[in-house]
A and B are shown apart, each in its own frame.
Chain A
Amino acid sequence: MLHLILFLFFGAICVAGAVNLLVQSHPINSALSLIVVMASLAAEYLLLGAEFVAAVQVIVYAGAIMVLFVITIMLLNAGAEQHTKGSRVAILIGVPGALIGAVLVAWTLLTRGHTGSVAMGALPGSPQDIARLLFHEFLLPFEITSVLILIAIMGAVVLASRPEAIARRHTESHQPDPLPQERQPAPQLVGSGKEH
């Protein structure tokens, strides 16, 4: 009973956050709602007993990845998105398709899903067990993902680092200065103020 209540509570927060992510026009709000979703998902993990997963979810996802998003939004000073009609396909075909798929899956799960039910803290994923599994059975994938991370870091550095040529071109053509910290001219202040 308590389990169901807690599940519904955090599930509701999840749903609210997800929907908010969609309806909000400003990316920073979407980011925050996504953080909310992640936090409540961590709670759901705790309900399922995956406490370590929950902690890592909070630390890595909410604490690191989303911070990156927020920093990027602040760097690029992303304003509210303008509602351009770029793609009819996405609206006319994609959205119905996604909804249909969702309805089908939900219907199948609720009517025909012969899955049992889980108790609170069903599978205690204690750090020790996780570590044992991760460093024995899944050692190779673990190492491979570490390499992947390394490559990703290099790629990010290369992509985000600005070659001097680009810098010069931007400065010549009155583009904002290379260093991101200093790109926040006053008119934009007013402009972004209007945006809200």
Chain B
Amino acid sequence: MPRARAPAPQDSMSITTFAIISIIKSLAVIGVLLTAVAYSVWLERKVSARIQNRWGPTRVGPFGLLQPLADGVKFIFKEDLTQPHVYKPLYIAAPMIAMVFAITSISVIPFGNWVNIGPWGTYLQITDLNIGLLVVLGITSMGVYGVALAGWASNNKYSLLGGLRASAQMVSYEVSLGLSLVGVLIIAGSLSLRNIVDAQRHLHWNIFLQPVAFFIYLISAYAETNRTPFDLPEAESELVAGYHTEYSAMKFAMFFMAEYANMVTVACLATLLFFGGWLGPVFGPPLLQAVLPVLWFCLKVFFFMFLYVWVRWTLPRFRYDQLMAFGWKVLLPLAVANIVVTALIVAWRA
């Protein structure tokens, strides 16, 4: 059902090759993503340590580079506790839901340009929908259920409060996030991420055209991913660990990975929407030309990941009512105003 937008290639190749290539791409992307997740954890620990003037993980491997592996192993072999009074089905389902949606949302993210591999050529992207952005939004919005259900199913007041906070917060910030993107969409005139990126050629990055939208997006994205300063769902000082208080071992790891996967997705989106995606100076031999865009892309995403950590250890946490008031009374009107202004300008230009 995904309708390919680029005419020639997929039409020419048979359904089987299409399936094979898709599978290969998916596996590759998921592998890369998980690795990225693991190492963003490592990155976070390192950077936070540095910010707090510590060393951070150093033992496992050089610079503790193997630390994530060790963590994974530890999670796998830890005992998986299941409290007696939890509502089992959802208690088990919740982390999976969170994980699945977090990973799925990467599927429409283009991280590179058109490449030719031998006889076939393909986009560096699992699927290209012409409503890609909407799909990302939809899937991330579905991600709420993981948190909410976890909080509810573990039948623990801290968890419940965490879940409630998470769901309420995500729902309310989803609004301003979506609205902040409208300005970009108006300029690009398309919902396909690839078109949006193409619209930013020659350094017409949306960060310059839509600064307000960018900041709105960034803030609401942090809220969406429950990151500081909006990490009230797992505010240690108030609710032991929020919605995953009762979780342990692999289930907990899934939440963990889901969170970081979401971060990656958001960073990718920010890159694509505001920083021109893979666009950048391209030169050199064809191989290099094929690799460079991906490199630019990764660099930009890395910057955002770093920004996440940086912000986390810089800003204090909101109070819940402040959070809500900020979301509804500041971000939302701002986003609407941004839309109006953008629309007026575009209409006047045309």
Question: Interface of A with B (CB < 8 Å)?
Answer: 6, 28-29, 32, 35, 39, 43, 46-47, 51-52, 55-56, 58-59, 62-64, 67-68, 70-71, 73-75, 120-121, 124, 126-127, 180-181, 184, 189-190, 192-193, 196
Q: 28 A–B contact pairs at CB < 8 A?
A: A32-B145, A32-B149, A43-B1, A52-B134, A55-B135, A58-B142, A59-B178, A62-B138, A63-B141, A64-B174, A67-B144, A67-B145, A70-B145, A70-B167, A71-B148, A71-B164, A71-B167, A71-B168, A74-B151, A74-B152, A74-B163, A74-B164, A124-B3, A184-B160, A189-B156, A192-B155, A193-B84, A196-B87
What residues on B are CB-neighbors of A184 within 8 Å? Answer: 157, 160
Total chain B interface residues with beta-carbon distance under 8 A: 38
With A121-B1, A189-B155 in contact, do A52 and B131 touch (Cβ < 8 Å)?
yes
Q: Is the CB of A181 within 8 A of B164?
A: yes
Given pairs A67-B145, A124-B3, 13 additional interface contacts (CB within 8 A): A35-B142, A43-B1, A56-B134, A59-B137, A59-B138, A63-B142, A71-B148, A71-B168, A181-B164, A189-B156, A189-B157, A192-B85, A193-B85
- Judge whether B240 is part of the interface by a CB distance below 8 angstroms: no
- A51 and B131: CB pair below 8 A? yes
B88 within 8 A of A: yes
- Determine if A55 and B134 form an interchain contact, defined as CB atoms under 8 angstroms apart: yes
Q: Which of B36-92 contact A (CB under 8 A)?
A: 84-85, 87-90
- Report the minimal beta-carbon distance from B117 to chain A, rounded to whole angstroms: 26
Residues of A within 8 A of B113 (CB): none
A58 in contact with B138 given A46-B1, A64-B174, A70-B149 (CB within 8 Å): yes
- Assuming the A-B contacts A63-B174, A64-B174, A70-B149, are A75 and B164 also in contact, with contact meaning beta carbons closer than 8 angstroms in the complex? yes
Interface residues of B in 137-177 (CB under 8 A from A): 137-139, 141-142, 144-145, 148-149, 151-152, 155-157, 160-161, 163-164, 167-168, 170-171, 174
Q: Does B129 contact A (CB under 8 A)?
A: yes
What is the distance, in angstroms, from A45's C-beta to the closest C-beta of chain B?
Answer: 10
B170 contacts across to A, CB distance below 8 A:
67
The answer to the question of B191 belonging to the interface, with a C-beta cut-off of 8 Å to chain A, is yes
Does B130 lie at the interface of the complex (its beta carbon under 8 Å from any beta carbon of A)? yes
Distance of A29 Cα from B153 Cα, bound (Å): 11
In contact, B90 and A126 (Cβ under 8 angstroms): no
A51:B129 contact, CB within 8 angstroms = yes
Q: Which residue of A lies closest to B171 (CB)?
A: A67
Given known A-B contacts A70-B145, A74-B152, A120-B1, A59 and B134 have beta carbons under 8 A apart: yes
CA distance A83 to B277 in the complex (A): 56
A67 touches B167 (CB 8 A): yes
The 9 tightest CB contacts between A and B, nearest first, are: A63-B141, A193-B85, A55-B134, A58-B138, A184-B157, A59-B138, A46-B1, A74-B152, A196-B87
